[in-house]
Structure 1
């Protein structure tokens, strides 16, 4: 039997997306590359642990979970995250940003300045701009100010992001229009913390980085992996944690977070033998003339 690998998820490097594996190995992903793997027959998906520590009881987790963590490890992981608002003494400077994922889908967020644009790539932001930089608590207060004053959310569901990727506006100017308008409104607001330095609107576009130009509409989305199942296809695009794979039945989206916790083995296939659900556009996106 082939040696089983444990995937740590999709990472975004300077040269593009990579699949990370336990032990430090990385597999670079390029457009047109065949992506194929099987799930060890009889295997069970186990909790990936929290904050770099293994799950003490190696709990079994659902195949549909994108977090691949048991309840206790999920609690520990969230308790030590910046997003949980439980860390107040982080001395690092933080960026406040506006990220755009499609028409009517812009969010505000914060990320450590030292991470650069990695967080935006991980979220699948089609384009973004910085708003300001400063201490963590000042960045948090600014994020809250913009959410309340501009009614901009801090989260957008992944399903909604996927739903519009194959029908984005064709030019960078069109894609940047919403964040330019919101940036102008944001800098005009009163109440910004004095310790946060505002930054000019300089949109960064990721369509080429993600391979989204002329992206075919997906036929389906992998719902979960199962023991003995397999996934295979040619990579046509990648955004956030998602791989868009061209298969014999059309383009199918694979959320690589579903790969974690399983023992995966190499296979030679360009077909899928795992549950796939029908691809649906986000609410409010017109599906056709009628």
Structure 2
């Protein structure tokens, strides 16, 4: 049995690799700070496996050790994904969750604003995971009140509860100045306050802009990747320097130019450091030909 990558997790505001082992559980790996080196390889003769399910902070291994496709951004098999949905706030299968939830407005680019909810105890972690360039909280309260507010504000303001990854990525390449970002988000916040009813069931939060652009590495210059990794493969190696990390998207400077790696594609692989010559780079495709990448499923909480 091998240690396998569990993808990228944001911890205390810093992204880093996570690892899991069927017998030894999870552990943190190296941090992905701006300017850090990334050097990984997939050994010959291995396959990518389902990452299982996390319950109460503990990972339950996939009972089938099911193989998952190299190009799939979802890192679970159908059986484990169904088990995840059976105990998911996002799927409304745990309406009695006693935790306090916060409603937020997240800004990803000009005209790209969404409303969402997250457990208040998580602070800004969900916004970092979603690659929100900036955000503000609207209010907090019980789960079902937060859920109703999310639906009411989405309908009243004409904003979605999800922004797809291709649109987020395209927007990052052309961010307006911070003043414009703040003004658009402030306008949405004030419009939300004008919607009647929801403040009777939630405790409103004052407008407080949090801007992640520089923290992600999108300022003073946003990366301009010309290609994206489409999946790892046995015998492949990838080496580069971290230019930016937004959510699960890792932007790397490599010998072949700037490259986008969706860390979802790394989850489930046993990895090692590249050794010797003859290792091939992972398969890639031009960003323009990919239409700025395919849809990445997002766990909402």
- TM-score normalised per structure 1: 0.91
The 3-state SS of whatever aligns with 2:200 is: coil
CA root-mean-square deviation: 1.9
Matched, 1:228 2:226: no
Matched, 1:279 2:277: no
Structure 2: gaps of 5 or more residues: 21-25, 294-301
Structure 1: gaps of 5 or more residues: 284-290
Displacement of 1:204: 0.4
Aligned to 2:46: 43
Q: 1:80 aligns with which of 59, 78, 87?
A: 87
CA distance 1:242–1:124, shift in 2 (3 Å): same
Distance 1:268 1:65 in 2: 27
CA distance 1:282–1:265, shift in 2 (3 Å): closer
Q: Is contact 1:68–1:260 with CA below 8 Å preserved after alignment?
A: yes
Q: Is contact 1:219–1:249 with CA below 8 Å preserved after alignment?
A: no
Aligned to 1:287: none
Displacement of 1:16: 2.0
Distance 1:25 1:117 in 2: 20
Distance 1:146 1:272 in 2: 49
Displacement of 1:102: 0.8
Displacement of 1:20: 1.6
Q: Is contact 1:36–1:268 with CA below 8 Å preserved after alignment?
A: no
Q: How many pairs were matched up?
A: 279
Displacement of 1:252: 0.5
- TM-score normalised per structure 2: 0.88
Q: Is contact 2:235–2:280 with CA below 8 Å preserved after alignment?
A: no
Aligned to 1:257: 264
Aligned to 2:116: 109
Matched, 1:183 2:186: no
What do the CA deviations read for 1:4-62 (whole angstroms, capped 9, x no partner)? 64112212223522112224132122222210101121111111112321111111111
Q: Is contact 2:47–2:269 with CA below 8 Å preserved after alignment?
A: yes
Q: 2:76 aligns with which of 69, 74, 88?
A: 69
Matched, 1:192 2:195: no
Q: 2:16 aligns with which of 18, 21, 28?
A: 18
Mean alpha-carbon deviation: is it higher for 200-209 or for 135-144? 200-209
CA distance 1:193–1:76, shift in 2 (3 Å): farther
What do the CA deviations read for 1:118-156 (whole angstroms, capped 9, x no partner)? 000011000000011000000000000011111111111
CA distance 1:150–1:34, shift in 2 (3 Å): same
Mean alpha-carbon deviation: is it higher for 122-131 or for 249-258? 249-258
What do the CA deviations read for 1:63-101 (whole angstroms, capped 9, x no partner)? 122221111111111221211111111111100000011
Displacement of 1:191: 2.3
Q: Is contact 1:40–1:227 with CA below 8 Å preserved after alignment?
A: yes
Distance 1:115 1:67 in 2: 23
